[in-house]
Amino acid sequence: MIRSLLVANRAEIARRIVRTCRDLGIATVAVHSDADAGAPHAREADTAVRLPGDAPADTYLRGDLLVKAALAAGADAVHPGYGFLSEHADFARAVRDAGLTWVGPPPEAMEAMASKTRAKEIMRKAGVPLLDAIDPAEATADDLPLLVKAAAGGGGRGMRVVRELDALPAELDSARAEAASAFGDGEIFVEPYMEGARHVEVQVFADTHGTVWTLGTRDCSLQRRHQKVIEEAPAPGLDEELRRTLAESAANAARAIGYEGAGTVEFLVSSAGRAYFLEMNTRLQVEHPVTEEIYGLDLVALQLRIAEGERLDAEPSAPRGHAVEARLYAEDPARDWRPQTGIMHRLEIPGLRVDSGPADGDAIGVHYDPMLAKVIAVAPTRAEAVRRLAHGLERARIHGPVTNRELLVRALRHPEFEAARMDTGFLERHLAELTAAAPDDDEAASLAELAALAAALADAARRPGTATVAGRLGGWRNVPSQPQSRSYRAEPGGTEHEVRYRLTREGLHAADMPDVGVLGAAAELVVLDVAGVRRTFEVTAHGDRRYVDTPQGGFVFTALPRFPDPTARAEPGSLLAPMPGTVVRVAEVAVGDRVEAGQPLLWLEAMKMEHRVTAPAAGVLTALHATTGRQVEVGALLAVVAAGE
């Protein structure tokens, strides 16, 4: 029996494991970097051990420190979660060699699946259908498009889609460099890129007595940068023959490597309905909650029981209903999925299952993945589950860094998704419409801005000594005058709007909205009459940010000063760091070289993603301040490109 478990991970999955252990009566030990010293997972566990440093390479990727922490805290088992060292066979061996229980598959099974190229050889022998690799030296135009993939690791790192043969050599070099940096293994391979394919996976469980379960299917086709964004179970629109093929292939894959514990076998399903083996993840998946919801199981508890030697029943229970999960990220989809940092002041999504990493008041930093939470809805039918999830996200109160919330809501309500006609190219194909800024005449945004203004005026009026005499009197004049105005910038997007208003004996009136009246205004609650319809707005201020939450959605505005700071301007051609991060590569360019607009100059790594920084315009590189390994803050000057010859 496991009595004390060390969770070798952080954030959402660490909290998830701690929650199950508490239900099972198992003591928990957390580990934390210095950046995570006050993180919820470290607070919620019974015991916490510090891993000195901030970077993953110095903390959560140090297997020796994790084993040492488990022994020091008196743990008798280790759960790796997902990511970090969860699929490292050497770490699993080190845990076992220390006399601890490893909550995961045998190291030999992990090694068999660690390299995608070796995994395909094993699957071929097991009769699992798969795509044949292509020798890049012999690739022709008839083979296009191609997919370059890293043999190790995952999460979309080291992956490139190639649509022009001339671009293949450069993409091979780029993928190889990223894979070596991310996984310490630069091996890559090339296979056909299947346009219009779906990403479907099968959850498997195997005990130590030879029983193998397949827990239905999940569709994970909605992806950005080859990383999943929306997942659901069961995968919709598959005929019974295809479901049977997927289940049999997944079970054969598990048996072929002597698997134990939780694992996922992933497939690409072509538009013609044929399945091809993609890879096997030898760990618990991020999207496991949708399987839990329809099968009524706690998969973490099942992992722990298998590690203790328990037998699975001959067959799992039958699934019921449909579940959909959306990953809420601190990122801006409209700006190349740029990760965001800052304080998460509030994260509240009522009525749905929320597996979150940060809690209110936590800082979102640059060292780790930008995922904030997984939001899961379950219902008797797919349509109901999708509707519940979209509605819940729309009404969520998310106060902090920019997130992908709006994109998630729009994607869930897109006609193609509602009809289950999605594929792995869905987000790329529809990104423009899913991230389009609201039009200037958008009534909902205008009302939210008016509510923000009304709340700000009410807040100023209630504070003694903060208003002028005219302000305390409401700015009242004896004769009509021009309207006053305040400006706000919508976030994200940066569209600026001016709200014109008058303060009269009757109160606040919007100069450009004659059908709108203010029924009540306080610092945090504003009630408007909109052509006879009563609407309520919750307003929260954090610095110059205004968060306005309504039943129809949330809005974020930045209150703009009347006189902008002239020192905030950058010289023309300046290339500033779009985010805090680490320079991992610099292109082979030198000061004095001519560069073209969009030409890559360097690569920044932030939040486990690599971001290409390009020349803002054609011209001459007159300064280059970036060096490999340099840590930069947002706005740091990286280079200068002077226009002209």
pLDDT digits (tens, 9 = 90+) for 329-344: 999 999 889 999 999 9
pLDDT tops 90 at residue 625: no
* 132-192 against 321-436: fold identical: no
pLDDT, mean over the chain:
91
Q: Is the peptide bond before 234 cis (omega within 30 degrees of 0)?
A: yes
Pick the CATH number of 106-129+201-225+235-317 from 3.30.70.940, 3.40.50.980, 3.30.470.20, 3.40.225.10: 3.30.470.20
Q: CB count, 10 Å around CB of 561?
A: 8
Q: Which residues contact 539 (CB under 8 A, 6 or more apart)?
A: 451, 452, 455, 523, 524, 525, 526, 546, 547, 548, 549
The CATH number of 566-643 is 2.40.50.100
Report CA 495 to chain centroid distance, whole Å.
25
Q: Which residues pair with 188 in a beta bridge?
A: 150
Nearest partner of 119 among 154, 166, 80, judged by Cα: 154
Cα 273–Cα 274–Cα 277 angle in degrees, nearest 5: 135
pLDDT of amino acid 213: 98
Question: Which helix or strand (DSSP H or E) is residue 216 part of?
Answer: strand 212-224
Q: Are 264 and 104 in contact (CB under 8 A)?
A: no
| Section 528-532 average pLDDT | 95
| Section 56-82 average pLDDT | 97
pLDDT of amino acid 469: 47
Sign of the Cα torsion 408, 413, 414, 416 reads positive
Q: Are 613 and 601 in contact (CB under 8 A)?
A: yes
Written as six digits, the tokens of 309 are 């030697």
- Percentage with pLDDT > 90 across the chain: 67
pLDDT band at 634 (very low <50, low <70, confident <90, very high): confident
Cα 563–Cα 569–Cα 571 angle in degrees, nearest 5: 155
Pick the CATH number of 4-103 from 3.30.10.20, 3.30.110.40, 3.40.640.10, 3.40.50.20: 3.40.50.20
Distances (CA, A) of 27 to 7, 48, 359, 372, 433: 11, 11, 22, 26, 48
Residue 209, CA atoms < 13 Å, CB-side half-sphere: 10
Report CA 325 to chain centroid distance, whole Å.
12
The CATH number of 443-559 is 3.30.700
pLDDT tops 60 at residue 467: no
Written as six digits, the tokens of 383 are 């349509």
| Topology (CATH level 3) of domain 132-192 | Dna Ligase; domain 1 (3.30.1490)
pLDDT of amino acid 475: 54
Could you give the residue numbers annotated as active site? Answer: 283
The residue assigned the tokens 């798969």 is 130
Cα 45–Cα 50–Cα 54 angle in degrees, nearest 5: 115
pLDDT of amino acid 608: 65
Domain residue ranges of the chain, discontinuous segments joined by +:
4-103, 106-129+201-225+235-317, 132-192, 321-436, 443-559, 566-643
Cα–Cα distance measured from residue 117 to residue 165, given in angstroms and rounded to the nearest whole number: 23
Q: What is the pLDDT of residues 182-241, one digit of tens each?
A: 777 888 889 888 889 999 999 999 999 999 999 999 999 999 988 999 999 999 999 999
| Section 604-616 average pLDDT | 79
pLDDT tops 70 at residue 565: no
Q: Are 79 and 50 in contact (CB under 8 A)?
A: no
pLDDT tops 70 at residue 569: no
Pick the CATH number of 321-436 from 3.30.470.20, 3.40.47.10, 3.40.50.300, 2.60.40.1730: 3.30.470.20
Query: Which pTM value belongs to this model?
Result: 0.86
pLDDT of amino acid 481: 67
Cα–Cα distance measured from residue 614 to residue 597, given in angstroms and rounded to the nearest whole number: 7
pLDDT of amino acid 150: 87
| Section 522-533 average pLDDT | 96
Q: CB count, 10 Å around CB of 163?
A: 12
Cα–Cα distance measured from residue 634 to residue 406, given in angstroms and rounded to the nearest whole number: 24
The residue assigned the tokens 């990122």 is 331
pLDDT band at 570 (very low <50, low <70, confident <90, very high): low
